[in-house]
Amino acid sequence: MVDLQTAMAAAQASERRSKGGRGASDEKKKRRSGSDMGIEPFDPVKYVNKEKADTSSMWLVILFAFTVTALMRYVLMPSTTMDKTDILYMLPLVMIILIPQIHRTVMPERFHEHYTKGTWFRAAFLYTFTFLSLSFLLVNPPFGDIVAPQVSNDWAIAVDNGDNFTFADGSGKDGLIEWQLADGEYLEGSVWLLFGLADNVGDEDANVTVSHRFQTTDTDIQSNATFWPEYGDEMGTWKTVNNRSAPILLPHGEQDQAFALNIGDSLAIGDHRFTVEIVEEGDPWVNTRVYEWTFSIKAPVTSAE
């Protein structure tokens, strides 16, 4: 026999177990079901619109970079002086802040919801690298020339003593060449300043002025047009004297513009300073470059008795 109280307690316990089992089953179902976990269902229409929005954004940023670069190169550069060239890069890069507004103005309304902070971050990088790449392209040949010709390799001092040429020690890369005289020796013969110019377009259009300064006297010197045609083929066979050898002055052959300037005969002891000024009508600027060189003739060192 089961009394009424016991039967009611058993029924209540059974009902609780039944509810608990259904709850556990539902929770297990939620764990296994993606839709019940809150995962957004795939919407093909929305996905296509997002891809179109991202692609349109990419081409808009590239077109914007093209436009800004063209304005910088053909409008801003010709009106900018050489001492204010920082604005040529600072101003276009600051224009990154316009990218979101341009998107909101140009793009269709249905694309706006797909543009987030990640979109602006990617667009900023794309704009920056596109602008820099196009800038390097447009300021270099064949679209532009903003660099004056430069010395091909070395400059040298050669002394013609009648039988051969003797080169001073050193390459001149640091702007200084020295000639140390021995006891009882002096610099005898015709002294030549030799160098070559190289350019990425053509150095034949450059105006080159060379001045020679000794003590307080300045003298403009002109290049000898017959020196290199007469002695150029002998560059590699010129004799060496006192371990002095001919440096490589024209590494690019006929592409380099050769210069040979006669400084004088039997130069005096002291510092002979040369100023080489190069002026070229570039595009869009006038390109300039200046070299300062010193040829130092050292007096013999006498030992104290």
pLDDT tens for each residue of 261-292: 999 998 999 999 999 999 998 889 899 999 99
Confidence class of residue 183 from pLDDT cuts 50, 70 and 90?
confident
Cα–Cα distance measured from residue 305 to residue 300, given in angstroms and rounded to the nearest whole number? 15
Query: Please, what sign has the CA dihedral across residues 131, 136, 139, 143?
Result: negative
Determine the average pLDDT of the residues in 71-81: 92
Q: Answer whether residue 8 shows pLDDT above 70.
A: no
- Tell me the C-alpha to C-alpha distance, in Å, between residue 268 and each of 36, 186, 285: 99, 8, 41
Q: Helix, strand or coil for residue 303? A: coil
Q: Answer whether residue 35 shows pLDDT above 60.
A: no
Which comes out higher in pLDDT, residue 243 or 285?
Answer: 285
Query: Please, what sign has the CA dihedral across residues 69, 75, 76, 77?
Result: positive
Residue 72: exposure state from Cβ atoms within 10 A (0-12, 13-18, ≥19): buried
Determine the average pLDDT of the residues in 218-225: 93
pLDDT at res. 26? 53
Q: Are 195 and 248 in contact (CB under 8 A)?
A: no
- Tell me the C-alpha to C-alpha distance, in Å, between residue 212 and each of 67, 216, 265: 48, 10, 14
Query: Please, what sign has the CA dihedral across residues 221, 227, 228, 229?
Result: positive
What domains appear along the chain, each with residue ranges and CATH number? 44-138 (no CATH), 150-298 (2.60.40)
Q: Helix, strand or coil for residue 180? A: strand
Beta-bridge partners for 166: 159
Residue 232: exposure state from Cβ atoms within 10 A (0-12, 13-18, ≥19): middle
pLDDT at res. 46? 77
Determine the average pLDDT of the residues in 10-18: 66
pLDDT at res. 202? 67
